Amino acid sequence: MLTFRDWIMRLEAKDTPTGDLACDIKSDPASANVENTLDAWKTHLSLKRACTGATEALETAWKSYRSYVRTHSD
């Protein structure tokens, strides 16, 4: 299954809050070890002292990711 981290990396070139979040995730080596759950990602961002905008982008991106996974699951 495609992880959230792998999925969001595809969006790093976008000039959007989600694209900004993707860039932040790519530049954070610890993100490779985050469990593939929304709660784990929220905790990770909190520990990194991410701004409210990043947390909001995560919520939006997670919904899109889950939708993508549902429509592209084997």
Q: Where are the alpha helices (DSSP H) in 10-51?
A: 17-26, 38-47
So where are the chain's domains? 4-27+36-72
Of 10, 54, 14, 71, residue with least CA distance to 41? 54
1-51, pLDDT tens digit by residue? 899 999 999 999 999 999 999 999 999 999 999 999 999 999 999 999 999
What distance in Å separates the CA atoms of residue 9 and residue 63, rounded to the nearest whole number? 15
Which pTM value belongs to this model? 0.92
Please say whether the beta carbons of 54 and 24 come within 8 A.
Answer: yes
Please say whether the beta carbons of 30 and 4 come within 8 A.
Answer: no
